[in-house]
Amino acid sequence: MSRFKDFMNSDAGARARYEKRKRQRVYIYIDNIEPQSKKMPEAERDKFQEAVAEQLTTLKRATFTGDVALKIDLATTSKNAPQAHTIAKNLLDLLGVRRSNVKWPHRHLLYKDDRQIQALSVSCSHGETSPAISIGARPFGSMLDDLELATEARRSIEMSSDYFYEQDREVDWIKTFRNLIDDETNYRRSLGDDGYDAYRKMVRWYAQRAMLKSSGVTIPVLNWMYGRPKDIPTGFGQERWTSLISASKIRLQVGELPITKGSSDVFKQNVSKEIIAFKNRWDWLINPLVVSVALEVIVRPNPATPSAVLHDLDNIVRDYLLPSIVPKFGTVSDHRWTIDFNELQRTNPEIAKSWGSNPMPPPGTKSGVTRYEAWRLPPVVGEPGFVSVALLADVDATGDHMDEIDQSIKAWASHSDLNYRY
């Protein structure tokens, strides 16, 4: 018994539990159906559900009955591809109730109701050579266990001197850009107009990247906001971390979700007011945006929210946030829209050539965000709900939090292997 307990408390035991949780996941990949919105033809809808049912049958998996963490990655080929959130809406509906023409022994496919989705990530790449729909689902309880393990894995990284040095260096870019604005006359005198303009453009990119990277929650903070690890003091309570995020001035704080009739308009007005306030604070740095941006949404419902009006995570992003955020900030759906290819051709023709003759996605797909993810915290009795949104710099190809969790655990496991061998 003692040896078993020692194993369970060891790194090897943690890895074994992680591998067991991975076997609870479902991965579905479809590469012969174009991702489409609700305008998807009936035959294509049946084809999509048939592909999902076939893969679930092969995996010997039934419908998820509990809470789910869901990840959807899309690739479109159409010159008139719809925006990612309209595609996601269609697919989320199709992953629920089975259509009458589709052979599957259950009424539902991947899950019974959108409200089961407690964490959602959607990304989309337009202008690809072949279509693809990739879906990953796992029990949300397993997702939280993975999050807790990833927090432990990242602790050694985030407590290192190199990590703190990197954070300080990121902040320096913002200070440098502020100095360039405040002391423009002297900088132009010393650098010349062309030199100043080029330097300011470069510093703006790094400064925006630094500021928008810091607006997102880290894996440890996300873990602590869910009250993990349980029954172990962290020195900073769950509610304290949540209050810091819900009050951060580098995030959009748009208040409580509407739960009564007529309150939707009030919530939309709150979103618009917060965007104006945010731009007043940060327009000097982020207007215009020169980095691609993803959306991170943290939602905590009001404890008085009736189950019948609990908002689906996708609806929150699609109905309330993207319609205001995308046009007001000028966000784009792909990092290629932030590249001036004419200037690149002039300054570095070899790199420009490597992009090919037509590097841009279809023009109609420009508006949007590179991806969005939303996480729902449990309500807290006696505390208000909130919706907190971060515009994340999406330039380092680190992926969403689900990717980051798995990457952190993979790095930790590799390090453990080295320690074990040597």
Q: What is the percent of the chain with per-residue pLDDT over 70, rounded to a whole number?
A: 91
- Residue for token pair 């104006």: 276
Extract the tokens encoding 73.
């990655």
Contact assessment for residue 114 and residue 96, using Cβ atoms and an 8 Å cutoff: yes
Strand order of the β-sheet with 371-376 is 26-30, 132-139, 68-75, 117-125, 371-376, 293-300, 386-393, 252-253
Specify the pLDDT at position 232.
56
Maximum alpha-carbon separation in the chain: 76
Specify the pLDDT at position 419.
47
> Could you tell me the pLDDT band of residue 160, with boundaries at 50, 70 and 90?
low
Report whether pLDDT(144) > 70. Answer: yes
Mean pLDDT computed over 175-182: 96
Q: Which of 394, 217, 365 is nearest to 289 (CA)?
A: 394
> Could you tell me the pLDDT band of residue 2, with boundaries at 50, 70 and 90?
low
Q: Is the peptide bond before 229 cis (omega within 30 degrees of 0)?
A: yes
Q: Determine the Cα–Cα distance for residues 238 and 259; give it in Å rounded to an integer.
A: 25
Cα–Cα distances in angstroms (integers) from residue 91 to residues 25, 68, 123, 198, 219, in the given order = 19, 15, 13, 44, 28
Give per-residue pLDDT as tens, 11-46: 888 999 999 999 999 999 999 999 999 999 999 999
pTM listed for this prediction: 0.92
HSE-up (13 A, CA, CB side) for residue 54:
9
Q: Determine the Cα–Cα distance for residues 246 and 240; give it in Å rounded to an integer.
A: 10
Please, which residues have CB within 8 angstroms of residue 258's CB and are 6 or more apart in sequence?
A: 264, 266, 267
Element (H, E) at 252: strand 252-253
- Residue for token pair 């003692």: 2
Contact assessment for residue 256 and residue 383, using Cβ atoms and an 8 Å cutoff: no
Q: How many helices (H) and strands (E) does the chain have?
A: 15, 8
Specify the pLDDT at position 164.
53
Highest mean pLDDT among 2-6, 174-178, 227-231: 174-178
Q: Determine the Cα–Cα distance for residues 420 and 414; give it in Å rounded to an integer.
A: 10
Q: What is the percent of the chain with per-residue pLDDT over 90, rounded to a whole number?
A: 75
> Could you tell me the pLDDT band of residue 359, with boundaries at 50, 70 and 90?
confident
What do you get for the CA distance between the two ends of the chain, in Å? 28
Q: Burial, 212: exposed, middle or buried (Cβ in 10 Å; 0-12, 13-18, 19+)?
A: buried
Phi, psi of 417 (to 5 degrees): -60, -40
Report the alpha-carbon angle 122-289-190, nearest 5: 150
- Residue for token pair 């991170």: 296
What does the DSSP 8-state code read for residue 370? S
Report whether pLDDT(300) > 80. Answer: yes
Phi, psi of 6 (to 5 degrees): -65, -40
Element (H, E) at 391: strand 386-393
| Residue-averaged pLDDT of the chain | 90
Q: Determine the Cα–Cα distance for residues 196 and 192; give it in Å rounded to an integer.
A: 6
Q: Determine the Cα–Cα distance for residues 20 and 371; give it in Å rounded to an integer.
A: 29
Report the alpha-carbon angle 30-31-33, nearest 5: 85
Mean pLDDT computed over 317-343: 94
What does the DSSP 8-state code read for residue 255? -
> Could you tell me the pLDDT band of residue 147, with boundaries at 50, 70 and 90?
very high
Q: Is the dihedral of CA 354, 207, 326, 138 positive or negative?
A: positive
> How many CB atoms within 10 Å of residue 331?
23
Mean pLDDT computed over 236-251: 85
Extract the tokens encoding 43.
């035959």
Coil, strand or helix: which one is 28?
Answer: strand
The residue ranges of DSSP E strands in 185-233, in sequence order, are none
User: Do the strands 68-75 and 117-125 form a parallel or antiparallel pair, or are they unpaired?
Assistant: parallel
Q: Rg (Cα) of the chain, in Å, rounded?
A: 23
